[in-house]
Amino acid sequence: MIDLHTHSLFSDGELIPSELVRRAVVNGYEAIAITDHADFSNLEFLLEGSKKAKYLEEDWDIKVLSGVELTHVPPRKIAPLARKAKTLGAEIVVVHGETLAEPVAPGTNAAAANCEDVDILAHPGLISPEEVEAASKNEVCLEITARNGHNRANGHVAKLGLELGARLVVDTDAHGPEDLINDETALKLAIGAGLSKEQAKKVLSNSARFLE
């Protein structure tokens, strides 16, 4: 399992990084990205903390990626904040998409999909075909999420992603230890979004590009 969207106690998660990573190891994870909720007010703090968590790689067989999830950021400020995150060393930049479960500002999906510094558009809800095409062009991955509430549009995201050539990934958006999953559950989640078993396996392999 390669999970590119999780949260620690640095934002609204329940665990400090060592606990989160240890739980991931027990679940058979190959890699985990710590992507706490970020805006201009806390970006440096979060990246400094997640980078320090890399010390865990020395003792446990897992890759720890430093990242952030840009959350409820005004759409016109997403691109400069994503650029700043990458400049500060973020390995994964996630944008909190227009999920059906929260009142995210309209235009967030478009801003993220058109930004080359964004790696993943998380739980993008009823994303439009034009936004999916932009994500495909800019190599922004669209997320199939395990998170309750945010997963209401997984089928829509998977369908348009396949039709329009956008890369899909499966993540947990984990906030607590019970949110982490294994490869078998991730495969079922992708199939549940309407993918064939072979398509689901391919989607699960897409996350490996971030380990290169």
Query: Is the model's pLDDT at 212 over the cut of 90?
Result: no
pLDDT digits (tens, 9 = 90+) for 114-173: 999 999 999 999 999 999 999 999 999 999 999 999 999 999 999 999 999 999 999 999
What gap in Å lies between CA 57 and CA 38, rounded to an integer? 24
The SS3 call for residue 104 is coil
Looking at the structure of the chain, the number of domains it has is 1
Strands (DSSP E) contained in the chain are 2-6, 31-38, 63-70, 92-96, 120-122, 141-145, 168-171
pTM of this structure: 0.97
Domain assignment of residue 168, given as a range: 2-211
**Angle in degrees, CA 82, 200, 13, rounded to 5:** 45
CATH code for position 61: 3.20.20.140
Convert the pLDDT of each residue in 51-103 to its tens digit: 999 999 999 999 999 999 999 999 999 999 999 999 999 999 999 999 999 99
Tokens encoding 207: 């996350």
Q: Torsions phi, psi of 138, nearest 5?
A: -95, 10
